[in-house]
Amino acid sequence: MRKLITVLSLFFLTFVISFGQFKRQREYSGFFDTYYYRGPITFTLGAGMTNYRGDLTKGLGLNGLSYGLSAGANYKIWPHIVLGAEFSYLNLQSTDYNKSRNGSFNATAMELQVYGRLYIIDEIIRVAPDRRKESHYTFCKPYLQAGLGGMLFTSTYKYNSGKEYTVETEFAPILPVGFGLQFTITQRSSLCAEYIYRFTLTDLIDYTTYNGSGNDGYGFMQLKFQYAPTAPKRKKKMSLPPPTQYDGPKGTETWKTKKQEEQKNRPAPQEYEIPENNTDEETVPEDEVIEEVAPEEETPAE
C-alpha cells in the first residue's frame, strides 16, 4: 500500500510539473480551423455510485450498487481534446440474484487510469487580440471519454451459512469508456456529471465463474468538481461614459452618406446683384460728368 501511494504521488507531481511549464498563449489549429489556449492544468475531485455487473447480477445489475471516490488532473492539449489521469478508490458488492445459491461478495479496488476526452462543444476563442473579452465560455459541454488503466482489488465471497472465500490482491487491466456533461461555474471551476464503465480482463472480482459468463465489469457514476488555479480570472467590465448623441443620418455611415452630410453643411454661395441699366460701357459718376461745349461759329469778316 505504501509503495502504491508513493508511486501515485510521484506520478501526479510529475504530471503537474510537466504541464505547468507551458505558458498560456493563443494558438491556431488548422485541423479544427479555430484559435485555442493550451491548458490550464485542472484538478478534479469526485464521489459517486458504483455499479457492478458480473456472475451475480442480471440485467442492469441494480443489486450491485455501492460507492466510490476519485481524484485526478487533466490538461487541454488541443481544441476539443483533453488528456488526464485519475486515481479512484471503489467498493464493489452484490448479492446473488439466484436465491438458491445464497451468496454475496464484497470487494475493494484501487485503480489508476489515463484518459482522453473529446468535447462535442468547446469554448469559442475570438480572432482579434485587441478585444477585451477574448473567449466565450459555454455553460454546458457534453463530452466522450475513453482511457486505459489497471486496478488492484481484494474480493471476498460469502455464503449465508457463514463460509467465506477470499481472493488476495490481484491486478487486472481495465478499459474505461463513457460520457459526461461539464457545467461551467466560473472561469476557474466547473462541475462534471459522468458515467464511465470499466471493461476488465478478469473474472475474479466476484470470486465466481458461473456458466462461463465472461469477464466482470463495473461502472462509476460520479459528480466531479474541477478547479484550475492558474486559469485567468474573469475580467471586470469597463465603465465607459455614455456615447455622444448623433443627429446625423441614421444607419451605418458610408462614403455616400458622409458626402451627403458634407454637402448639406456646406455654406451657401453669396448672391451678387446686377444693376438694371448695365451696359458694357464704362459708367462715370454724375459729379464727374463734363458738359460738352459746342464750338463757336466763325463769323465772316466784313
Q: How far is CA 265 from the centre of its chain?
A: 51
pLDDT value of residue 293: 52
* CA atoms lying within 13 Å on the CB side of residue 246: 9
pLDDT value of residue 234: 65
| Whole-angstrom distance, CA of residue 290 vs CA of residue 274 | 26
Q: How far is CA 70 from the centre of its chain?
A: 23
For the chain, the first-to-last Cα distance in angstroms comes to 171
Q: What are residue 27's DSSP bridge partners? A: 36
For the chain, 302 residues long, give each residue's pLDDT as a single digit of tens.
555 556 556 665 665 555 555 556 777 777 777 777 788 899 999 999 999 988 888 776 677 889 999 999 999 999 999 999 999 999 999 888 777 777 888 999 999 999 999 999 887 776 555 454 445 567 899 999 999 999 999 988 887 777 777 778 889 999 999 999 999 999 899 999 999 999 999 888 887 766 556 788 999 999 999 999 988 876 555 555 666 665 655 555 566 667 777 777 777 666 656 566 555 555 555 555 455 555 555 555 54
The reported pTM is: 0.68
Contacts of 187 (CB under 8 A, 6+ apart): 137, 231, 232, 233, 234
3-state secondary structure of 11: helix
| Whole-angstrom distance, CA of residue 28 vs CA of residue 143 | 22
pLDDT value of residue 108: 93
Element (DSSP H or E) covering residue 93: strand 81-95
| Whole-angstrom distance, CA of residue 101 vs CA of residue 208 | 11
Condensed to tens digits (0 to 9), the pLDDT of residues 76-91 reads: 999 999 999 999 999 9
- Helix ranges restricted to H, 94-218: none
Condensed to tens digits (0 to 9), the pLDDT of residues 12-68 reads: 566 555 555 555 677 777 777 777 778 889 999 999 999 998 888 877 667 788 999
